[in-house]
Structure 1
Amino acid sequence: MAVPPDPPPALDSPTALAKALSTTGYLADDDLATAAFLALRMGKPLFCEGEPGTGKTALAQALAQVLGVELIRLQCHDGIDAAQALYDWDFPRQLLHLRALEASAGAGGRSPDAAQVEASLYDPRFLLARPILRALQTSPSVLLIDEIDRADDEFEAFLLEVLTEHAVSIPELGEIRAAVPPLVVLTSNRTREVHDALKRRCLYLWLDHPDVGREVEILRSRLPGLPERLAAQVAEAVASLRQIGLIKPPGVAESLDWAQALQLIGSATLDLEGAAATLGAVLKYREDAERALAVLRDELAS
């Protein structure tokens, strides 16, 4: 069985990993840094669960960046199956190859027998590697399995087998096994419960929205020119909006978009006029915008 390599010496502790992640603009708290560090050292998938916009996908992106490896993403959706995650055969190229063989035989060349033709059609050069197969072939790498809660039970069972064996079998080619297992990050927005069998295979991490202080740090880290007062006002306003039962509460990505939009229109502070003009950067439903304006009107007037 392939074993995970030790992380680079510079990432030899949760503190060191958190520091490295911060260079990418991703600010990790102690729990997150510890979970990610243990996933690296133990060779276990990291199952990240939480509300949309809490930084689950961004964590995988940041880990790939600090490790200096390729990020390979599998976006789950309703109806996804193993073929969409593993591989397919390039039928148009196979057909062209078959016609070339026929043309060669018709021009006086020696005709290959049926077994040779079939073997040549299922050559690795005609294989279209989908994300999971690519991750097994690319050593090392970070494999992001995004929104696993959108897939069905059958796909979960398939994933469980692949994540346990770090190998897949292709009937025409045989087994393909990872020389170095990828670091796997699974995310879930908890639209449904993922089965315990898959969770038991992973280290678990719940991600919540950051508190106001941490969100200010994130805003100023990702937007270096952002005034401290504006960062604090945006963080406080977003924290309030998350508490009023919106259809789609804003995540950190929306906070960043809102702060940047306010900067671009020349706002040094958050006022009602600037908030109303830029609310489309943070909220995506008319009903949410109307409720938010009512709340912001009271808060910004005080």
Structure 2
Amino acid sequence: MDLPGVSNAEELQIRLRRYDYLADEGLATAIFLALRLSRPLFLEGEAGVGKTEVAKVLSRLLDTPLIRLQCYEGIDVYQAVYEWDYARQLLHIRTAEALGAGEDRERFEAELYSREFLIARPLLQALEHRGPQPPVLLIDEVDRADDEFEAFLLEILSDYSVTIPEVGTIEAGRPPVVVITSNRTREVHDALKRRCLYFWIEHPSFEREVEIVRLRVPGAGEKLARQVAAAVQELRRMDLYKPPGVAETLDWTEALVALDAKELNEQLVEATLGSVVKYREDQQRVRAPGIEKLLSRVNGGGWGRADT
């Protein structure tokens, strides 16, 4: 699909920034091509680097609903596509029995499995959407699902249709804008990746992370923003079980701003460490050499300084 007023990746990059998302040239190009070619976009990277946010900002930019399918171990077609409303079916059966309307068994069973009793889950909702713009379908953390569900997704994304035996085949009027994310807790099958445009999202550079903080947390002063970004960059260099992503950087900055902090000090870091390092073992690793050493690396590590 074409985005009005956007004819290339550079213009899309500017539009994304207006919606508070800073995409580098590579990511902006991948998003642009996914829209232009109507191909699913497969985003992979560490947790917290902004993969899910791409789908959210596209929803706002396109002024269309965001439909999210959160994957997890054991997810199947009934959680992803549709299921029957058994409570309403049971109520219908009891009502029919009370009224003596269950004599025509064939007609009665057909009523039970009509569209009236079907609950649409995210994939079916995306296929059936009939708004002015196709919806954004976010298939989040697909690496948590199993191989069988991947194969089912591949089938859905091949022709954007699904067959429900009792109802028939339902096709999308226009294919949704599909964003698939993976934290790479396991390898996703090549067949699914080949169906998509692929992009690996890295942790941002120091200067870009400062820019993200200033954009998303405008209440943070320049000095605080640079110190927080530098501290997070240092934390990522440590052997942590779960290095902080951009999401944690923003969480930490918001917590510090809420405390009216103007710059980092040892007490503030100790008090707010849970905003950025969210595993007990990782907190112990950070505290072991001392918070003071972390701050000395932040202030003396060549990250750049601001006096205001």
1:243 pairs with 2:234 = no
Which whole-Å deviations, capped at 9, do the CAs of 1:250-294 have from their partners, x for residues lacking one?
111110111111111121011111111111101112231232243
Q: Which amino acid aligns with 1:18?
A: Q
> Which of 100, 109, 113 does residue 122 from structure 1 map onto?
113
Aligned to 1:142: 136
Q: Is residue 199 of structure 2 the alignment partner of residue 205 of structure 1?
A: yes
For residues 230 and 250 of structure 1, the distance between their equivalents in structure 2, rounded to whole angstroms, comes to 17
Matched, 1:297 2:292: yes
Where does 1:163-242 land on structure 2 (aligned, <5 Å)? 163-242=157-236
Q: Residue 122 of structure 2 corresponds to which residue in structure 1?
A: 131
Q: Identify if the C-alpha distance between structure 1 residues 280 and 120 changes in structure 2 by more than 3 Å, giving closer, same or farther.
A: same
Structure 1 residues 49-82: Cα deviation after superposition (integer angstroms, max 9, x where no partner): 1111110011111111111111111111111112
Deviation of residue 224 (structure 1)? 1.2
Distance apart, 1:154 and its partner CA: 0.8
Structure 1 length-normalised TM: 0.93
Quote the Cα distance in structure 1 between the aligned partners of 2:294 and 2:92. 68
Per the alignment, residue 35 of structure 1 pairs with: 30
Distance 1:27 1:211 in 2: 12
Residue 280 of structure 2 corresponds to which residue in structure 1? Answer: 286
Q: Aligned to 2:5, what secondary structure does the other structure show?
A: helix
| CA distance in 1 between partners of 2:9 and 2:22 (Å) | 13
Per-residue deviation, 1:242 = 0.4
* Contact in 1 for aligned 2:59/2:136 (Cα 8 Å): yes
Kept in 2: contact 1:237–1:296 (CA 8 A): no
Aligned residues: 293
RMSD, matched Cα: 1.4
Distance 1:172 1:199 in 2: 32
Q: What is the one-letter code of the residue matched to 2:127?
A: L
Aligned to 1:9: 4
Q: Which moved more, 1:159-168 or 1:291-300?
A: 291-300
Q: Counterpart of 1:263?
A: 257
How far apart, CA to CA, are the structure 1 residues paired with 2:275 and 2:58?
27
Q: 1:242 to 1:169 in 2, by over 3 A?
A: same
SS in 1 for 2:169: strand
Rate the CA distance shift 1:260–1:91 in 2: closer, same or farther, 3 A: same
- Residue 67, structure 1, aligned to residue 62, structure 2: yes
TM-score with structure 2 length normalisation?
A: 0.92
Query: Shift in Å at residue 295 of structure 1?
Result: 6.0
Name the % identity: 55
Q: Is the 8 A contact 2:270 2:291 kept in 1?
A: no
Which moved further from structure 2: 28-37 or 262-271? 262-271
1:87 aligns with 2:82: yes
How far the C-alpha of 1:232 sits from its partner, in A, is: 0.5
Which amino acid counterpart does residue 95 of structure 1 have in structure 2? L
CA distance in 2, matches of 1:208, 1:118: 54
Q: How far apart, in 1, do the equivalents of 2:219 and 2:72 lie? A: 38
- What is the SS of the residue equivalent to 1:229? helix
Q: Aligned with 1:175: secondary structure?
A: strand
When structure 1 is superposed on structure 2, of 10-19 and 291-300 the one drifting more is: 291-300
Cα distance in 2 for partners of 1:60, 1:168 equals 23
Aligned 8 A contact 1:149 1:190 in 2:
yes
Question: 1: distance between equivalents of 2:256 and 2:250?
Answer: 10
Point out where structure 2 has 5 or more consecutive residues left out of the alignment. 301-308
Q: In structure 2, what is the Cα distance between the partners aligned to 1:260 and 1:156?
A: 37
Select 2:52's aligned residue among 41, 54, 57: 57
- CA–CA distance in 2 between the matches of 1:61 and 1:237? 27
Asked whether the 8 Å contact 2:66–2:137 carries over to 1, the reply is: yes
